[in-house]
C-alpha cells in the first residue's frame, strides 16, 4: 500500500461519513422530514434541537440528514448517468471516426456553447418538475464534459503503435476497444469522476436554491438555504448550516480527486491503479 | 609552453552532481548523476565529452556555466574558469559570467529560440545586455557571423522569426548567438544530433570553422564518436556519470585503453556478408504510388522493390524521403493509389480490411519506439502470447511453454513473463517486440527504425539478434533506417529513397560502390567516419566538385 | 499553404455566428421537443380544453414550430424580443433596464478580478511549490468548491448583517449617483470577484508555468539576463496570449455567476429576471434572455480565439 497524503485521508473520511449519513438517514434522523416540532421558528440551538429549528419550526438537524440523502442521491445518479452516456459516446466517436465522430462532436460543441446553468433554466421552464427530470438534466448536460474527455483520451490512445499493432494482427473492434484502449483510458476517467460528482452537487444545490430543483415536501441542502435565507437579514444563521454542509462535502471530494489526479498523471503507463 | 598554467581556461576538479528524483508513489530521493569528474581545457582548444544516454555529459556541460536543470545540484568539487571558482560566484557573479565568458548551444535550436522575437534581437541580446558593444557593432558582428556560418542572405537573415528558417539554419544561428559576445568558452550540447545526415555535415563544418577562426575554446557534447573525432582535440569518455578514459582524439579512436571505449569505437564497423541472390521472392512491390488524403502530391512515387526469402532489404533515406510511408503501404494502413503488391505469390489486397488472416500473420512489423508499441497494461506473457492464441489457437500451458521458448530465443530467459513493459530496459522492450513478431512465424518482418532510439551498444545487440534469428528461422526483413552504418551491418540489398522515389536499388555490394548517382553520393559521403581529417577531406572534395561544375 | 490572419479571424467569427444561429435553434426548437405544455403550465391544471385552445391561438402557439421559430428569429434581428406570457410586458423594454444593471455588476467584478488574478497567478508561478503558492492554491481550491450562493450568504451574514460593514441587500434604482450605486453593490461584486478569481488565477498560474518551462527561458537564463529581463523580455511576449485567453474564458464564466449572485442580493438584473420567469414558466422571456446570455458567452469565446490567433507569431509572420 502506498502512502496516502493526510489531505486525501481527511477527504476520504469526511466523504465516507456523508455517504454513511445518506444511506442511514431514515434511521438516524430524530424527527420526520416535515414534522413541525416547535412553535418557535428559527429556535436557537438546544439539547432537544442540536441545530435549532427552521423557518417554520421543523428540526434543522433532521432536515439536514434527509437533505444529505437527497443531495447525494441526486448527485450520484446524475454522475452515473453523465459517465455512462459521456464515456460510451466518447469512445464510440473516437474509435468509429468519420461521420459518427463528426455528428457527435459537433452536437457536443453546440450544447457546450451554451452555459450549463442557462440551458438548464431554459429546459426546466417547460419540463414537469421532479427528481427524475433533475437527474436527467444535470446528468446529460454534464455528459458533454465527460464526452469531450473520453473522446480525447481514447483518440490519443487510438493512434498509439500498440493499437496499430493490434489492428495489423487482424484483431476485431471489440478487442481493440476493450483490451487495448479501455484499460489505458480508465485511470484519467476515474480521476475525473470526483470532479464530476462535485459539479453535480453544486449544480443541484444551485438549482434548488433558485427554487427550480428539488420541490417540497422533499428538501436538499440548496433548497434549505433558500428556505432559511430570509432569516440572515435578521441575524439568524440557519441558512449557513446547509451552506457549510455543501462546502465541506465539495471540498472533501475535491481533496480526494486532487490526489487521484496527481497519481494518475505521474503514472505514465506502468502497472498499478 | 612555460606559461601553460595561465593558458588553462577551464579547470574542473572532483565534480559531483546530484539530482532529486520523484518516482511515482514513492518518496523523493537524491541520486548521484555525476561523480568525481576532473578535466582541464586550455584556451582555444576543444574537448569532446562522449557517452551514451545517462552518462551525465550534458549535465557536466551545463555545470561549466554553474547551471543545473530541474532538481540538479552541484554538490562537490570545484570549477575554475579563468582561475576563479565559479561555484562561489553568487547570483550576480554568475549572471556576469553567463552569456559573456561562457555561452551555450542547445541540441534543439527550434525550442531554444524564443518564437515571439526576431533572430537578430536574440543573437545580439547577450552582447548588448553585458554592455560589450553598441547595437550597431553587435549587429555588424552578427551579420559577419551569419556569413561565416554560411547562412543565406546574412544582411537580412536576422530580420526573420525562428519559425521562418530551417532546422539546420537555426542551429547555425544558435552558434552565431553563442559566438557573438566573443566568449572564452562555448558549450555545444549535441548541436547536430537532431539534423539529417546531409545537413549535419554542413553545420559541423561551419561550427568547426567558426571555432578555429574565433579561437574560442569549446566543450563539445555528443553520443557519436565519429562526429566528435572531427572537431575535438581531446576526448573524454563518460559512462553513468563517471570518467572512463580521457586523451588526445587520435589516441582515443586509434588505441583505446578501456574495454568500454573499444566497444564504442568498433560499434559502427559491424559488417555482414551479403547473401547470394537467386532465391524465391517473398515480397514484390511493383510501381506503387501513394498519397495521404488531402495532400496535393504523392508521398510515394512509382516505387518497385523485391525481397527474397530469408534476405534483408534495407530502405535508406532521410526524414521525409517516404521510407516509412512505404511500410504503411505494404502493411495496408495506407492503400496505394497505383501499383500492386505481391506477397508469397499472392496479390495483397490494398487495404488492411481486405486481407486474409494468413496474410496478416506472415507479414509482421516492429516499431521504432518499443515504449509505445506495447500496451503498458499487458504483461510480457500477454504481449507475446496473444499472437500465439490469435493465429494458432494455443492456450494455457502450451502457450506459456511457447512464450518461454520465444523469450529464450531473444536471449531474455526466465523471470520476464510476468513483467510489465515499464519494468524493462530499452533494449529488452525492443526484444519483446521482436518476440511478438516472431510468435506469428512470419515470412517477412518490417523493421521501422528499430535501433534508432537505442544507444549504439544496445542497438548492436539488437542487430546481432535479428541476424541470428534470420539464420535460424529464414525470415526476411524489410529494414527501414536513416543510418548507413546500420545498413552495412544488416542488409543484403539496398533501396535508397529520396523525395518519395527509389533513386538507387540493388545488391548491397553494387549500391555501395561507385559510380554513384548524385544523391547517393551525397548521402554516403555525409556519414561521419571514425578518423580525423575526414571532415576536411569531404569539404575540400565538395568544393572542388562545385568549382569543377 | 497556411492561411493568413484576416482569413483565419473572419473564419472564426463566421463560425461563431453559425454557432449562435444553431444555439438559437436549440433554445427555441429543442425546447419544443421536450415534454411539457406551456399553455397548461401558465393556465394551471384546472384550465378547460377551450381555455387552453384560446390561449394558444392568442399567442400564436397553434402555428407550426418552424414558422414560430423563424418569426421569433426575425423579430430578434429587429430588436423585438416578443412579449411576456405572464403579464404581457414587452420583453425588450424590461431587458433594457436590467441589462445595464447586470453589466454594471459584471464590469466592476472584472475590473477588480482581472489584474488581481494575474498578479496572484504571477506570484504563485514565481514561487511554484513553495508556501506562497501552496497558500494561494489552498485558498482557491476552497473557493472553487463553493457554489456562488454559499459564498454570497456567508459574506452577507458576516459583512452585511453581523458586522454591518456593507449593505446586505443590493438596492439600486434609477437616478442613483455612481458612488451610492457602487456602495450598494460592494457585496455582490466581492462574491463575483472571489468566484472568478480562483479559476482565473489557477489558469494564469498554469499558463505562466508552461511558458517558464520552455527551453527558450533556459536560453535566456544562460545569457546571464536578470530575472526581470527573462520575464519581461522572454516569458511575457509568449505568456500574454494564453493569459488573455484565460481572462476571456473566465469573463464568460462571470456571465453565469451573475445569475445566482443577483438572486442572493435581490439585485434587479438580467439573472433575477430570468429566474423569476423560469418559475412562472414564461417561455418567451426565458428563451429571449437565455439567448442573450448565450450570445455574450459565445462572443467572449470568439474574442478569446481571435486574440490567440492575433498573438501567434507563426501566424503573424508567415513564411
Q: Which of A257-261, B89-93, B361-365, B392-396 has the lowest mean pLDDT?
A: A257-261
Distance from the first to the final alpha carbon of chain A: 11
Of B108, B129, B161, which has the smallest distance from its Cβ to C215's Cβ?
Answer: B108
ipTM for the whole complex: 0.84
Q: Which residues of C fall within a CB distance of 8 Å from A244?
A: 150
B65 touches chain C (CB under 8 A): yes
> How many Cα atoms occupy the beta-carbon half-sphere of C101 within 13 Å?
29
Chain B residue with Cα closest to C236:
B116
Grade residue A2 by pLDDT with cuts at 50, 70 and 90: low
pLDDT band at A6 (very low <50, low <70, confident <90, very high): confident
**C-beta atoms of A110 and C147 within 8 A:** no
Rounded to an integer, what distance in angstroms lies between the CA atom of residue B487 and that of residue B480?
9
pLDDT at B5 over 70: no
Homologous superfamily (CATH) for B281-513: P-loop containing nucleotide triphosphate hydrolases (3.40.50.300)
The Cα–Cα gap between C29 and C76 comes to 15
- How far, CA to CA in Å, does B496 sit from each of B281, B436, C21? 20, 28, 55
Please, which chains are in contact with C (at least 3 CB pairs closer than 8 A)? A, B
Q: Which positions ≥6 away from C93 have C-beta within 8 Å?
A: none
Write the DSSP string, A151-208: HHHHHHHHTSHHHHHHHHHT--HHHIIIIIIHHHHHHHHHHHHHHHHHHHHHHHHHHH
State the Cα–Cα distance between residues C246 and B276, nearest whole angstrom.
66
Strand order in the sheet with B84-85: B29-42, B8-21, B72-81, B84-85
Among the listed residues A254, A198, A6, the one whose alpha carbon sits nearest the alpha carbon of residue C141 = A254
Hey, what CATH topology would domain B3-82+89-269 get? Answer: Rossmann fold (3.40.50)
Residue C99 inside a domain? The answer is yes
Answer for the pair B281, B293: CB distance below 8 angstroms, yes or no: no
Contact: C221, B113; criterion CB under 8 Å: no
Chain B hits for A180, CB-CB cut-off 8 Å, are: 375
pLDDT band, very low/low/confident/very high, at A269 (cuts 50, 70, 90):
very low
User: How many domains would you assign to chain C?
Assistant: 1
Q: What is the pLDDT of residue C200?
A: 86
Contact A222 C149 (CB under 8 A): yes
Residue C38 has what pLDDT? Answer: 67
Cβ–Cβ < 8 Å for A187, A153: no
Shortest Cα distance, chain B CAs vs residue C5, angstroms: 16
List the single residue in C with minimal CA-CA distance to B129. C225
Contacts of C162 in chain A (CB under 8 A): 235
Chain C interface test: which of B97, B116, B121, B128 (most C C-beta within 10 Å): B116
Quote the DSSP letter at residue B240: T
Search chain B and give the residue with CA nearest A186.
B377
Distance from CA of A251 to the nearest CA of C (A): 6
Chain C residues whose C-beta is within 8 A of a chain B C-beta are: 214-216, 218-226, 229, 233-234, 237-238, 313-314, 317, 319
pLDDT at residue B103 is higher than 50: yes
Higher-pLDDT residue of B3, B51: B51
Which candidate, B492, B450, B522, places its Cα nearest to that of B196? B522
Average pLDDT over residues C25-41: 75
Q: With an 8 Å Cβ cutoff, are C237 and B116 in contact?
A: yes
Do B164 and C319 lie within an 8 Å CB cutoff? yes
What do you get for the CA distance between the two ends of chain C, in Å?
Answer: 10
Are the Cβ atoms of B374 and A160 closer than 8 angstroms?
Answer: no
B72-81/B84-85 β-pairing: antiparallel
Residue C220: pLDDT over 70: yes
Is B166 part of the contact surface with chain C (CB cutoff 8 Å)?
A: no
Indicate left, alpha or beta for C298 from its phi (over 0: left) and psi (-120 to 50: alpha): alpha
Residue A20 has pLDDT above 70, yes or no: yes
Among B108, B114, B123, the residue to mutate for chain C (most C Cβ within 10 A)? B114
Question: What is the structure's pLDDT at A266?
Answer: 45
- On the 0-12 / 13-18 / 19+ scale of CB atoms within 10 A, B545 is exposed
Q: Which of C224, C234, C242 is most worth mutating to test chain B (most B CB atoms within 10 A of its CB)?
A: C224
d(CA A5, nearest CA chain B) in Å: 11
CATH of the domain at C172: 1.10.3720.10
- Quick: pLDDT tens for B192-250: 888 888 888 888 998 998 898 888 999 999 988 889 999 999 999 999 999 999 999 99
pLDDT at B280 over 80: yes
Span C115-140, mean pLDDT?
Answer: 83
Give the percent of chain A with pLDDT over 90: 34
Measured between beta carbons, which residues in chain B are less than 8 angstroms from residue A179? 375
Say whether A164 and B333 touch across the interface (CB within 8 A). yes
Q: Which residue has the cell 570553422?
A: B209
- Identity of the residue in B98, B112, B130 whose CB atom sits nearest the CB atom of C216: B112
- Best mutation target, B21, B22, B24, B389, to test chain A (most A CBs within 10 A): B24
Distance, in angstroms, between A172 CA and closest chain C CA?
A: 37
Which chains are within 8 Å of B by 3+ CB pairs?
A, C
pLDDT digit string, tens, across residues A49-61: 777 888 777 888 8
Q: What is the pLDDT of residues B526-548, one digit of tens each?
A: 888 888 888 988 888 888 877 76
Distance, in Å, from the CA atom of B351 to the CA atom of A26, rounded to the nearest integer, reads 63
- Residue B374: its pLDDT value, please? 94
Cell of B358: 494468413
Q: How far is CA C178 from CA C42, C104, C192, in A?
A: 39, 10, 19
Identify all chain A residues contacting B357, using CB atoms and an 8 Å cutoff: 170
Contact C153 A232 (CB under 8 A): yes
Q: Is the Cβ pair C218, B99 closer than 8 Å? A: no
Q: Which residues of A touch C (CB under 8 A)?
A: 109-111, 113-119, 121-128, 198, 202, 205-206, 209-212, 222, 225, 229, 232-235, 237, 239-240, 243-244, 246-247, 250-251, 254, 258
Q: Would the pLDDT of A136 be above 80?
A: yes
Q: What is the pLDDT of residues B410-425, one digit of tens each?
A: 988 788 888 999 888 8
Which chain C residues touch A116 with a CB distance below 8 Å?
256
- Residue for grid cell 417547460: A126
Contact A243/C22, CB-based, under 8 Å? no
Smallest CA–CA distance, residue A174 to chain C, in Å, is 34
Question: In which residue are the cell numbers 494455443 written?
Answer: B394
**Which one, of C70, C88, C72, C69, lies nearest residue C80 by Cα?**
C72
The residue among B485, B330, B465 whose CA lies nearest residue B410 is B465
Q: Single out the residue of B11, B63, B54 nearest to residue B33, CA to CA.
A: B54
- The answer to whether the Cβ–Cβ distance between A117 and C41 falls below 8 Å is no
Is A190's Cβ below 8 Å from some Cβ in B? no
pLDDT averaged over every residue in chain B: 90
A271 in reach of chain B (CB within 8 A)? yes
**What pLDDT is attached to residue A273?**
27
Average pLDDT over residues C132-140: 82
State which residue of chain C sits closest to B105, comparing Cα positions: C219
A98 close to B (CB below 8 A): no
Q: What is the pLDDT of residue B485?
A: 86
Per residue in B9-40, pLDDT (tens digit) is 999 999 999 988 776 556 678 889 899 999 99
A192 to chain B, closest Cα gap in Å? 19
For C167-206, what is each residue's pLDDT tens digit? 777 777 777 777 878 888 888 999 999 888 888 888 888 8
pLDDT band at C96 (very low <50, low <70, confident <90, very high): confident
Q: What is the pTM of this model?
A: 0.82
State the pLDDT confidence band at A28, using cuts at 50, 70 and 90: confident
- pLDDT recorded at residue A271: 30
Alpha-carbon gap, residue C299 to A176, rounded angstroms: 41
CB within 8 Å: C145 and A212: no
Domain limits, CATH 3.40.50.300, in chain B: 3-82+89-269, 281-513
A184 touches chain B (CB under 8 A): yes
**Sign for the pseudo-dihedral over CA of B465, B469, B471, B475:** negative
Asked if A148 is an interface residue toward chain B (Cβ–Cβ < 8 A), one would say: no
Contact criterion met (CB < 8 Å) for B360 and A183: no
Q: Which residue has the higher pLDDT, A139 or C315?
A: A139
pLDDT tens per residue, range B134-153: 999 999 999 999 998 889 89
- pLDDT tens track for C39-82: 776 666 677 778 777 777 777 777 777 888 888 888 888 888 88
Question: Which residue range forms the structural domain that includes residue C213?
Answer: 91-280
- The pLDDT tens digits of the residues spanning C227-274 come to 888 888 898 888 888 888 888 888 887 888 889 999 988 888 899 999
Q: Does residue A162 sit at the B interface (CB-CB below 8 Å)?
A: yes
**CATH architecture observed for domain A18-267:** Orthogonal Bundle (1.10)
* C224: nearest CB among B100, B113, B115: B100
Amino acid at each position: 500500500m502506498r502512502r496516502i497524503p493526510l489531505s486525501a485521508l481527511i477527504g476520504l473520511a469526511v466523504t465516507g461519513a456523508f455517504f454513511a449519513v445518506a444511506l442511514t438517514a431514515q434511521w438516524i434522523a430524530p424527527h420526520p422530514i416535515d414534522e413541525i416540532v416547535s412553535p418557535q421558528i428559527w429556535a436557537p440551538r438546544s439539547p432537544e434541537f442540536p441545530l435549532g429549528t427552521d423557518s417554520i419550526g421543523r428540526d434543522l438537524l433532521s432536515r439536514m440528514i434527509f437533505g444529505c440523502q437527497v443531495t447525494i442521491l441526486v448527485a450520484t445518479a446524475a454522475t452515473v448517468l453523465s459517465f455512462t452516456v459521456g464515456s460510451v459516446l466518447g469512445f464510440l466517436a473516437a474509435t468509429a471516426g468519420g461521420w459518427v465522430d463528426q455528428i457527435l462532436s459537433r452536437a457536443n460543441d453546440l450544447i457546450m456553447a451554451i452555459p450549463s446553468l442557462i440551458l438548464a433554466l431554459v429546459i426546466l421552464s417547460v419540463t414537469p418538475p421532479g427528481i427524475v427530470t433533475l437527474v436527467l438534466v444535470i446528468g446529460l448536460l454534464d455528459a458533454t464534459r465527460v464526452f469531450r474527455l473520453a473522446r480525447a483520451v481514447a483518440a490519443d490512445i487510438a493512434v498509439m503503435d500498440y493499437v496499430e499493432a493490434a489492428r495489423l494482427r487482424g484483431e476485431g473492434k471489440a478487442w481493440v476497444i476493450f483490451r487495448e484502449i479501455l484499460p489505458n483510458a480508465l485511470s484519467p476517467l476515474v480521476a475525473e469522476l470526483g470532479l464530476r460528482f462535485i459539479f453535480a452537487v453544486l449544480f443541484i444545490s444551485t438549482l434548488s436554491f433558485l427554487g427550480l430543483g428539488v420541490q417540497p415536501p422533499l428538501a436538499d441542502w440548496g433548497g434549505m438555504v433558500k428556505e432559511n435565507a430570509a432569516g440572515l437579514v435578521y441575524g439568524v444563521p440557519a441558512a449557513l448550516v446547509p451552506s457549510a454542509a455543501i462546502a465541506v462535502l465539495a471540498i472533501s471530494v475535491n481533496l480526494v480527486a486532487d490526489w487521484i489526479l496527481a497519481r494518475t498523471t505521474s503514472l505514465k503507463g506502468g502497472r498499478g491503479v | 609552453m612555460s606559461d601553460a598554467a595561465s593558458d588553462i581556461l577551464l579547470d574542473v576538479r572532483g565534480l559531483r552532481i546530484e539530482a532529486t528524483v520523484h518516482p511515482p508513489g514513492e518518496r523523493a530521493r537524491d541520486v548521484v548523476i555525476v561523480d568525481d569528474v576532473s578535466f582541464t581545457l586550455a584556451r582555444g582548444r576543444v574537448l569532446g565529452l562522449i557517452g551514451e544516454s545517462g552518462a551525465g555529459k550534458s549535465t557536466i556541460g551545463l555545470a561549466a556555466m554553474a547551471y543545473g536543470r530541474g532538481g540538479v545540484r552541484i554538490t562537490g568539487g570545484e570549477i575554475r574558469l579563468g582561475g576563479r571558482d565559479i561555484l562561489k560566484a553568487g547570483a550576480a557573479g554568475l549572471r556576469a559570467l553567463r552569456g559573456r565568458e561562457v555561452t551555450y548551444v542547445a541540441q534543439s535550436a527550434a525550442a531554444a529560440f524564443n518564437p515571439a522575437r526576431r533572430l537578430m534581437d536574440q543573437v545580439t541580446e547577450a552582447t548588448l545586455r553585458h554592455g560589450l558593444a553598441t547595437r550597431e557593432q553587435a549587429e555588424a558582428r552578427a551579420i559577419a557571423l551569419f556569413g561565416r556560418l554560411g547562412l543565406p542572405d546574412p544582411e537580412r537573415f536576422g530580420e526573420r522569426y525562428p519559425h521562418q528558417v530551417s532546422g539546420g539554419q537555426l542551429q547555425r544561428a544558435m552558434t552565431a548567438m553563442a559566438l557573438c559576445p566573443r566568449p572564452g568558452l562555448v558549450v555545444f550540447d549535441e548541436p547536430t544530433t537532431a539534423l539529417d545526415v546531409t545537413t549535419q555535415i554542413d553545420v559541423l563544418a561551419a561550427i568547426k570553422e567558426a571555432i578555429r577562426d574565433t579561437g574560442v575554446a569549446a566543450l563539445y557534447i555528443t553520443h557519436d564518436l565519429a562526429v566528435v573525432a572531427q572537431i575535438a582535440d581531446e576526448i573524454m569518455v563518460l559512462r553513468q556519470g563517471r570518467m572512463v578514459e580521457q586523451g588526445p582524439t587520435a589516441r582515443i579512436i586509434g588505441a583505446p585503453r578501456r574495454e568500454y571505449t573499444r566497444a564504442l569505437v568498433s560499434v559502427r564497423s559491424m559488417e555482414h556478408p551479403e547473401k547470394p541472390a537467386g532465391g524465391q521472392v517473398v515480397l514484390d512491390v511493383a510501381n506503387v504510388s501513394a498519397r495521404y488524403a488531402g495532400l496535393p502530391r504523392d508521398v510515394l512515387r512509382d516505387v518497385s522493390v523485391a525481397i527474397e526469402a530469408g534476405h534483408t532489404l534495407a530502405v535508406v533515406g532521410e526524414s521525409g524521403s517516404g521510407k516509412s510511408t512505404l511500410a504503411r503501404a505494404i502493411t495496408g494502413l495506407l492503400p496505394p493509389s497505383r501499383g500492386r503488391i505481391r506477397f508469397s505469390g499472392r496479390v495483397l489486397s490494398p487495404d488492411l480490411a481486405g486481407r486474409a488472416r494468413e496474410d496478416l500473420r506472415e507479414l509482421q512489423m516492429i516499431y521504432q519506439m518499443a515504449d509505445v508499441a506495447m500496451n503498458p497494461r499487458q504483461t510480457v506473457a500477454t504481449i507475446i502470447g496473444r499472437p500465439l492464441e490469435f493465429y494458432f489457437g494455443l492456450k494455457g500451458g502450451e502457450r506459456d511453454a511457447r512464450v518461454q521458448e520465444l523469450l529464450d530465443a531473444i536471449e531474455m530467459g526466465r523471470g520476464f513473463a510476468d513483467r510489465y513493459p515499464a519494468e524493462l530496459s530499452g533494449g529488452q522492450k525492443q526484444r519483446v517486440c521482436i518476440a511478438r513478431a516472431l510468435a506469428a512465424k512470419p515470412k517477412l518482418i518490417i523493421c521501422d527504425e528499430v535501433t534508432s532510439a537505442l544507444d549504439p551498444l544496445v542497438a548492436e545487440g539488437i542487430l546481432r539478434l535479428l541476424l541470428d534469428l534470420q539464420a535460424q528461422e529464414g525470415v526476411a526483413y524489410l529494414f527501414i533506417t536513416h543510418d548507413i552504418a546500420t545498413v552495412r551491418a544488416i542488409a543484403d540489398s539496398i533501396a535508397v529513397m529520396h523525395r518519395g522515389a527509389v533513386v538507387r536499388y540493388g545488391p548491397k555490394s553494387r549500391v555501395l560502390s561507385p559510380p554513384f548517382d548524385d544523391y547517393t553520393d551525397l548521402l554516403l559521403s555525409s556519414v561521419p567516419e571514425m578518423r580525423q581529417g575526414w571532415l576536411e577531406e569531404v569539404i575540400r572534395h565538395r568544393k572542388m566538385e562545385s568549382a569543377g561544375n | 499553404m497556411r492561411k493568413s490572419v484576416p482569413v483565419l479571424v473572419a473564419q472564426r467569427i463566421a463560425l461563431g455566428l453559425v454557432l449562435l444561429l444553431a444555439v438559437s435553434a436549440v433554445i427555441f426548437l429543442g425546447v419544443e421537443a421536450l415534454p411539457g405544455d406551456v399553455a397548461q403550465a401558465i393556465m394551471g391544471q384546472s384550465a378547460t380544453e377551450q381555455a387552453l385552445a384560446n390561449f394558444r391561438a392568442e399567442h400564436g402557439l397553434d402555428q407550426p414550430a418552424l414558422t414560430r421559430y423563424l418569426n421569433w428569429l426575425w423579430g430578434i434581428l429587429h430588436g423585438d424580443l416578443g412579449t411576456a406570457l405572464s403579464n404581457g410586458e414587452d420583453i425588450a423594454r424590461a431587458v433594457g433596464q436590467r441589462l445595464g444593471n447586470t453589466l454594471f455588476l459584471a464590469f466592476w467584478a472584472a475590473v477588480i478580478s482581472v489584474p488581481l488574478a494575474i498578479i496572484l497567478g504571477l506570484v504563485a508561478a514565481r514561487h511554484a511549490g513553495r508556501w506562497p503558492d501552496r497558500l494561494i492554491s489552498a485558498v482557491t481550491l476552497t473557493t472553487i468548491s463553493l457554489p456562488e450562493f454559499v459564498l454570497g450568504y456567508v459574506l452577507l451574514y458576516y459583512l452585511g448583517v453581523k458586522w454591518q460593514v456593507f449593505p446586505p441587500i443590493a438596492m439600486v434604482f434609477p437616478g442613483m449617483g455612481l458612488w451610492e450605486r457602487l456602495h450598494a453593490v460592494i457585496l455582490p461584486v466581492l462574491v463575483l470577484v472571489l468566484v472568478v478569481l480562483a479559476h482565473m488565477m489557477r489558469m494564469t498560474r498554469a499558463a505562466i508555468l508552461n511558458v517558464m518551462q520552455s527551453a527558450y527561458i533556459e536560453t535566456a537564463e544562460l545569457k546571464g539576463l536578470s530575472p526581470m529581463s527573462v520575464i519581461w523580455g522572454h516569458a511575457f511576449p509568449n505568456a500574454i496570449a494564453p493569459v488573455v485567453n484565460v481572462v476571456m474564458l473566465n469573463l464568460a464564466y462571470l456571465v453565469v455567476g451573475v445569475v445566482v449572485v443577483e438572486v442572493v442580493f435581490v439585485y434587479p438584473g438580467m439573472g433575477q429576471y430570468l429566474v423569476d420567469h423560469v418559475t412562472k414558466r414564461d417561455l418567451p422571456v426565458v428563451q429571449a434572455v437565455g439567448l442573450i446570455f448565450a450570445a455574450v458567452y459565445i462572443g467572449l469565446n470568439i474574442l478569446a480565439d481571435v486574440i490567440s490567433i492575433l498573438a501567434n507569431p507563426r501566424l503573424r509572420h508567415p513564411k
